[in-house]
Structure 1
């Protein structure tokens, strides 16, 4: 693979908002070449007569770049998402560093699979039920204490979450999801002190952490939904859980959400995000997260 003095990186994105602009800022400061390309522009070529398949995006041969950052996995049909993952796996097979690794992205994007990995690793997680039957989901509603959070299996930033503590509302919600052909993902609502912890893990190290306070009477702490970020230092147990969670899911870069469970007096691992945002964390901690990400990707060159 041809290497140049200036690292040549590509970010696969779903839009060109703040995070992409921050990556460009960091790349310019580091004297790195960075191309941000919309994920749907990825194409694959097989049977070129060279004995190797080719993956391109925006006319760039991704097999020849120094690293590929998966900034976001945009919504799409099953075929579209499967092909995008196929392309990432192909790049990894060609020896191109991909952040996060394709298998880690596949696991983290699926809330059930990620939570099962965490549970299998012995990490504390909220009691959760997943299935397709409204009738069985209603039985799970009772098992989970009659106060639950219903989440989309795929989703982030707290969007699409519904908290339900009424039996009839739960019945209607589950039947609606069943009719839509959706997977029903139901989690026990955890009594918490009005905040959670977000740790940003990169290369087995914690880059920074914040405490996110829920706005007003809202139970969701996501900054994108109005949560207030606050600088914090993680206690040893929180640090251990964050690093163990990233390892269990296979992520080199992750946003780990930890939730204090007041009833059980312990921290729970709520989620592992393989395409984490860092705007609130960078602004609160002062850490140049974008530069740290690009430097980590550059160091992964083979």
Structure 2
């Protein structure tokens, strides 16, 4: 089995997948493909049969693609890259995660809407385009909000506003920059959240405890992790969140709130696993490749 990995050679998760394939799966080979090199074609072009193309224009023979990054690009580039994934999926290449799952998870609002439509509890959120609408949301959400980029992860670019004047300036700047204003009620919590990682039909869970003085619980923001045994409610909610997005490798973030609610913050379709793997002493790269091989 030959697997294409969309990412960069120095990406730690790409390297883990390569290591796991070489050490555990005789006959399995991998190659790293760059998003910038992706091409498709229709008609007389030989490119039509390239599923997918490598950077030198030759065709890769991979039967499965693993998406390990989604680089920043223009709107056209992002849409085209998703088109490429859809093309290869339609030609019989197993894409992990499928393009539709990536589209849903990458777009915070679309993901939140899917979760809500599936009956999964989520934080109160308003998505708008003007400062006046955002200020109305700020007041309506209690005057303590998180302002998040529509696209992005690992806690980067998230701002907290609990001061009206600060919120006014922040929303004005974002509007001038042409940004969509994603305004979410800040939920008082216990200083931790729960990351549930789904690998095929298996799930793994850790508790991510925020660093002192920090409200963000992302590992990338300095939180520490410890094993976590899911309650029945937590397991059921994580499963419903996973099913609302779809995919074979997904991270679901649960937040136990101080008021007793259990909320889903988001679903990540290109999740990291280093903190979880180290905490639980489990080889996630091996487990995922075992799933990919079984699916074929």
- Superposition TM-score, scaled by structure 1 size: 0.93
In 2, the alpha carbon distance for the partners of 1:176 and 1:156 equals 21
1:44 aligns to what SS in structure 2? coil
1:57 aligns to what SS in structure 2? coil
Question: Where does structure 1 differ by over 4 angstroms across 4 or more consecutive aligned residues?
Answer: 49-53
After superposing the two structures, state which structure 1 stretch, 287-296 or 102-111, moved more. Answer: 287-296
1:167 corresponding residue in structure 2: 164
Structure 1 gaps, min length 5:
1-6
Structure 2 gaps, min length 5:
none
Structure 2 counterparts to residues 1-302 of structure 1, below 5 A: 7-14=1-8, 16-29=10-23, 30-31=25-26, 32-48=28-44, 52-54=48-50, 55-59=52-56, 61-62=59-60, 64-206=61-203, 208-263=204-259, 265-301=260-296
In 2, the alpha carbon distance for the partners of 1:247 and 1:214 equals 28
In 1, the alpha carbon distance for the partners of 2:214 and 2:85 equals 38
Question: Aligned-residue CA RMSD in angstroms?
Answer: 1.5
After superposing the two structures, state which structure 1 stretch, 37-46 or 181-190, moved more. Answer: 37-46
Q: Are the aligned partners of 1:47 and 1:53 in contact in 2 as well (CA < 8 Å)?
A: no
1:3 corresponding residue in structure 2: none
- Superposition TM-score, scaled by structure 2 size: 0.95
In 1, the alpha carbon distance for the partners of 2:47 and 2:193 equals 50
Aligned length in residues: 292
In 2, the alpha carbon distance for the partners of 1:216 and 1:115 equals 28
Deviation at 1:50, TM superposition (A): 7.0
In 2, the alpha carbon distance for the partners of 1:224 and 1:178 equals 28
